Amino acid sequence: MRYILFIVSKLLLERKRQTIVSIAGVAIGVCALIVMSSLMFGFQKYFINQVIDLEPHISIKPKEYGDEKKIARMIDPDGLWDVMGSKPKEKDKIIGWRELINRIERRDDVMGLAPHLVVKGIIKYGIKEKPVTIIGIDPDLEPKASVIERFLEYKRLSSLKTNRDTLIIGRLVAKDLGIKDVGKKVLVMFPTGSTRILKIEDFFNSGITNIDNSRVYMNMRAVQGLMDRTDEVNEIAIKVKDVNQAERIASELQKTTEYHVESWQRAYINFLQIFKIQNTITYLIVLSILTVSAFGIFNIIMMTVLEKKRDIAILMAMGYTRKDVLSLFLTQGMIVGLCGALLGSLMGYGLQEYLSSVKLEVEGLIRTKGFMLDRSFSYYIYGFFFSMFFSFLASFYPSYRASKLDPVEIFRSA
Amino acid sequence: MHNLESPVIELINIKKSIREEEILKGISLKVCKGEFVAIMGASGSGKSSLLYIMGLLDRPTSGEVLFKGQRTDFQKGEELSKVRNESIGFVFQFHYLLPEFTLLENVMVPMLKRGTYVDEAKEKAYDLLSRLSLKGKENRKIYQISGGEMQRVAIARALANEPELFLADEPTGNLDSKNTQMVMDIFQDINATGKTIVMVTHDIQVAKRAKRIVEMKDGQVIGY
């Protein structure tokens, strides 16, 4: 192998410009893979982590609609019918929720549960109004099912317990109403027509726009009282030990209850599908860059093979085997790939450093003050693996062609 | 004239066809250790094809090639490559030096393939170039030296692994008379050290410097 490296190093160093161009091509591909993966997955992981921390891993709710289709099919399986609409749920409550909680709590894979009463309402502050989702929570039980306190700006979850005339509102709800500080009083209107003036005790800021823009937390007993729904809940939030098992646990729970059981994966399926599409697009772009750089390597090695036919023939005359010739050109491609991977990794690291230092107000699906980067080392490994793989693919055919050259034919044609 | 007891290479009834045209028609030839044989013939007589077969670069269509008494037709490509690397040195009409390499590195290439360490190969290459009057030019590139010097570098490279058989295909075909004389003097010096040389040429003056002349015509040996 020493003699192969000796010749290869000379060939690469003597053709500096070509070598640099092909290394740069691979480096750009690797850098793109690292940075784009890091940006894309950074954003996605941030979003998913926030959702996992904040939202129930599994929620149990009353069914939205009846089973009209199922019933109709049972009555007239062959009939030409369709259910164009159905009556909304009549009983928006979970009957026997305490027993249900006690039963689920016994499972080893469940960490904690908390009951909710979720209703729609309108908040009014001065002349400004905003429709919101009011979540009635039990301040003692809620931390078992979510890490809500982490998202509170003043960490005053317990104030909901001590004073029932208080509420915690989403940061963007406050912004829309023109509220800057806690302590302000707002008028809350409930679907029953009842109204109540409540004091804002804290702001809730998860960074996820559609949550911060619509959510309000209140004491569950207070909501029950105002809605005239004593001891009623319409959601049970469950926190599990392994979030990746939520879907499996949800389907197991579904078999034991008539209520609708939904995992966080199913609740956020639209987002997860979009992420999948995003990832596919990202990898297609990276793949295109790597393919272009692979063509660069292919061209350079193919040109070298065509230009160096006589040199290959003389090497064979000197006792170099076909395998040596194959290794000679394949090694060239692999060295280009290796240097490209190393340079690309350095460039990727530098770009990650730069991006992580950029202060930028990002407001969309999530709100952050900069790029959310996932700086996992695995992207460097993927970059290295892909560049080596593409370099191998790109250099194999020309190397194979070189190894199949007939030295006698070449000498004769000279 | 030649030593019949230790043939370095022996060809028995060699035939070679290329695209259905028979270019070697049953040639038998024995070259013994220490011989200096010139194969003469006009263009197209098959002398180069014969040399490639003797150098184990090409296989005959039929017939046997024995290298140091061993049949080569059953040997694998890799085994023949090893024999070429260790026991055969080639010099061609065109020097075929590697343009990216210095003179020194060109001479080192076959030694490195054999497994010689870089330092040792370097030392040996310096010595060979010095013996061929190229001292001081070792680190020059090919384009920085003359045609005669290039051919001497090619000879140094062929001698690098101290081969037993030295094959030259029109080694002076591209040289002026002064350089031709110089190259032939070198060949005679090499032969004087006991090395076996087979040289293909169409120049009678060059062939006369050999100890034995084999004449070829239309793929056949017509005279010794």
Give DSSP secondary structure letters for B32-60. Answer: ETT-EEEEEE-TTSSHHHHHHHHTTSS--
CA torsion angle B163 B167 B173 B176 (round to 10): 30
Task: Tell me whether B78 touches chain A (CB under 8 Å).
Answer: yes
The 10 Å Cβ neighbour count of residue B58 is 21
> How far is it, in rounded angstroms, from Cα A68 to Cα B63?
91
ipTM associated with this complex: 0.90
> How far is it, in rounded angstroms, from Cα A312 to Cα A86?
79
Averaged confidence pLDDT in chain A: 89
Looking at residue B3, its pLDDT comes to 47
Which residues on neighbouring strands pair with residue B102, listed in sequence order? B141
Task: Tell me whether B174 touches chain A (CB under 8 Å).
Answer: no
**CA within 13 Å, CB half, A100:** 26
Q: Provide mean pLDDT across the span B175-194.
A: 87
Could you tell me which of A311, A83, A329 has the C-alpha nearest to residue B101?
A311
Which residues on neighbouring strands pair with residue A210, listed in sequence order? none
Query: What's the pTM value of the predicted model, to 2 decimals?
Result: 0.76
> For the purposes of burial, counting CB atoms within 10 Å of the CB of A380, is it exposed (0-12), middle (13-18) or buried (19 or more)?
buried
> How far is it, in rounded angstroms, from Cα A244 to Cα A26?
36
End-to-end CA distance of chain B: 11
Q: How many angstroms away from the CA of A310 is the closest CA of chain B?
A: 7
> How far is it, in rounded angstroms, from Cα B19 to Cα B201?
25
Question: Measured between CB atoms, which of B57, B113, B161 is closest to A408?
Answer: B57
Residues 6+ apart with CB under 8 A from A70: none
Which two tokens mark B173?
Answer: 């075909």
Which residues on neighbouring strands pair with residue A333, listed in sequence order? none
Least confident of A198-202, A407-411, B87-91, B218-222: B218-222
Helix, strand, coil percentages in chain A from 3-state DSSP, rounded to 5: 55, 20, 25
E strand or H helix at B160, and its extent? none
Which two tokens mark B166?
Answer: 């030295």
Q: How many angstroms away from the CA of A344 is the closest CA of chain B?
A: 28
Looking at residue A224, its pLDDT comes to 93
Indicate which of A326, A404, A411 best probes the interface with B, i.e. most B CBs within 10 Å of its own CB. A411
CB A54 within 8 A of CB A147: yes
Looking at residue B2, its pLDDT comes to 46
Tokens 């019918």 sit at which residue? A81
Residues 177-216 of B with CB under 8 A from A: none
Which two tokens mark A89?
Answer: 């749920």
DSSP-derived secondary structure letter, A300 = H
CB A265 within 8 A of CB A251: no
Please tell me which residue, A75 or A393, carries the higher pLDDT value. Answer: A393
Query: B52, A10: Cβ pair inside 8 Å?
Result: no
CB B165 within 8 A of CB B88: yes
Please give the full DSSP string across A140-164, using - where no structure is assigned: TTHHHH--GGGGBSS--TTHHHH-T
pLDDT band at B1 (very low <50, low <70, confident <90, very high): very low
Instruction: For residue B107, give the chain A residue with the closest CA.
Output: A318
AA letter at B32: C
> How far is it, in rounded angstroms, from Cα B173 to Cα B194?
25
Looking at residue B89, its pLDDT comes to 92
Please tell me which residue, A75 or A335, carries the higher pLDDT value. Answer: A335
Could you tell me which of B18, B25, B20 has the C-alpha nearest to residue B220?
B25
- Cβ neighbours of B95 in A, within 8 Å: none
Least confident of A68-82, A204-218, A239-253, A378-392: A68-82
Residues 6+ apart with CB under 8 A from A132: A120, A121, A122, A123, A169, A170, A173, A214, A215, A216
Query: B105, A14: Cβ pair inside 8 Å?
Result: no
Please tell me which residue, A89 or A253, carries the higher pLDDT value. Answer: A253
End-to-end CA distance of chain A: 30
Looking at residue A86, its pLDDT comes to 63
Q: Provide mean pLDDT across the span B116-134.
A: 90
